[in-house]
Structure 1
Amino acid sequence: MPHSIIFDMDGTLFQTEKILEVSLVETFNYLRDSDEWKEETPLQKYKEIMGVPLPTVWKNLLPHHSEEIREQANVYFLEKLILNIQKGKGALYPQVEEVLETLHKEGYSLYIASNGLVDYLQAIVEYYHLDRWVTETFSIEQIDSLDKADLVAYIQEKYDFKQGAVVGDRLSDIQAAEKNGLTSIGCRFDFAQETELAEADHVIDDFSSLNEVIRVIEKLHA
């Protein structure tokens, strides 16, 4: 029976970097216009924490602001992200479409599990027609704990599989695989950190390498 593969979205399938800066700058300009921010846009700080749920993002970026202001910033940021996706300012990583198509044709079950919000993920899926190959896309919003490991467990339970892999660029993806008995494949892409990748079972430097790694995993579990 073909294994299942769960992909992270940001920094794994989707080059978030291409829409991140412009959307974040627009959001902090909005905060400046509201007299809620006077410093530079904390782009580097956001890059360092990429991959955590958005409520955690805004607690880090706006540590001295109220929950109301954080929520306003979150809503505005999400709107700008989606608009920039729909304008075609983002991009999938090279070879993503080709690799997903190949895996799908070979009978692998493909899923997306992301810390992104539902509307944001849906915008990416719709713009790039990822549902041609991906069975279902899951958001951290669907899990009360906001824990990627619990989200992966939810996917396993829904689709009834115990073997497979989690492909992602951050520690949350690697730990989600480990906690659920799956193989972790780390992506050495834009937001990846070497200390986190060191905990992965396998690491790829580009998406085209994924097919070969999947073959290796299949042989190990044959």
Structure 2
Amino acid sequence: MIFDMDGTLFETDTLLVGVHERIFQTLRDEKLYLEPTPPVEKLLGCLGMLLHDIWNQVMPDSTLAARERADELMLQYELEGLEAGEGSLYPHVAQTLRELHDRGIKLFVASNGLEHYVKGVAEHKGITSLFDGLYSAGEYETATKIDLVRRLLTDHDIESAWMIGDRSSDVEAGKENGLQVVGCAYAVYGRKEELAGADALISDFRELLELGGVEQT
């Protein structure tokens, strides 16, 4: 099973609301962005995109220097927040991942986030040991999630898997690599139509235990 991170395993707004305000306060203090702080909903709506695309959406009128500084600040403030115990996994994620792992199912993450952020979430939430690999666009410098998932499949010689995520990029990454796709309908960051094309939808993370091939005994 290959999982997206934000909006799938990690309830990102529990960390990002505070981070968002700090980023734009710092940009103002450093005279890099003097416009009003964009609504945090705009940032949350971009989760799943590459960082470059996120800032183009959130502050399209900004300079390259402002966007590059926002990249640095986002990672810094996210890691500081995680260190301080901020941010939560979605309900039942840790227990369900543990049960899937105990059944011998190989678990992976494929995220468009930065390497230290993706690994930081897994580490601080105590789930790193459950995964056979934590793949991020930041580490592998992939242009799309399709490419990232293809790299993961090749590295681990995987022929059959589920792709589990909440955004259209997850559906595309699964389908383009010949995988079954589970859409996480409990996530609030994307639009419902983004999950069109998924083979199954779940509204509770525990439903993964009942999918074909991993029926609960």
Give yes or no for TM over 0.5. yes
Q: Are 1:7 and 2:3 matched, yes or no?
A: yes
CA-CA distance at 1:32 after TM superposition: 1.8
Aligned equivalents of 1:113 and 1:145: distance in 2?
Answer: 11
Q: 2:181 corresponds to which residue?
A: 184
SS in 1 for 2:88: coil
Is the Cα–Cα contact under 8 Å of residues 163 and 181 in structure 2 kept in the other structure?
Answer: yes
Which of 18, 24, 33 aligns to 1:22? It is 18
Runs of 4+ aligned structure 1 residues displaced above 4 Å come to: none
Partner of 2:152: 155
Equivalent pairs counted in the alignment come to 213
The C-alpha deviation readout for 1:162-194, integer Å capped at 9, x for no partner, is 111000000001110000010000001121311
- Structural RMSD (CA): 1.5
Amino acid in the other structure paired with 2:28:
R
Question: Which stretch of the first structure deviates more once superposed, 35-44 or 88-97?
Answer: 35-44
2:99 pairs with 1:134: no
Equivalences for residues 9-158 of structure 1 within 5 A: 9-35=5-31, 36-158=33-155
SS class of match (2:62):
coil
Deviation, 1:217, is 5.3
TM-score where L is the length of structure 2 = 0.93
1:218–1:100 CA distance, 2 compared to 1 (3 A): closer
Q: TM-score, normalised by structure 1?
A: 0.91
Q: Distance in 2 between matches of 1:81 and 1:134?
A: 21
One-letter amino acid of the structure 2 residue matched with residue 180 of structure 1 = N
Per-residue CA deviation, residues 47-67 of structure 1 (Å, 9 max, x unaligned), is 222110111111222222222
The question of whether the paired residues in 2 share the 8 Å contact of 1:142 and 1:151 is answered with no
Q: Which residue of 1 aligns with 2:200?
A: 202
Task: Structure 2: state its 5+ residue gaps.
Answer: none
Displacement, 1:141?
Answer: 2.0
For residue 196 of structure 1, what is the amino acid of its counterpart? E
1:112 partner SS: strand
Task: State the identity as a percent.
Answer: 33
Q: CA deviation at 1:206?
A: 1.2
The one-letter code sitting in structure 2 at the alignment partner of 1:111 is: F
CA drift at 1:218: 6.2
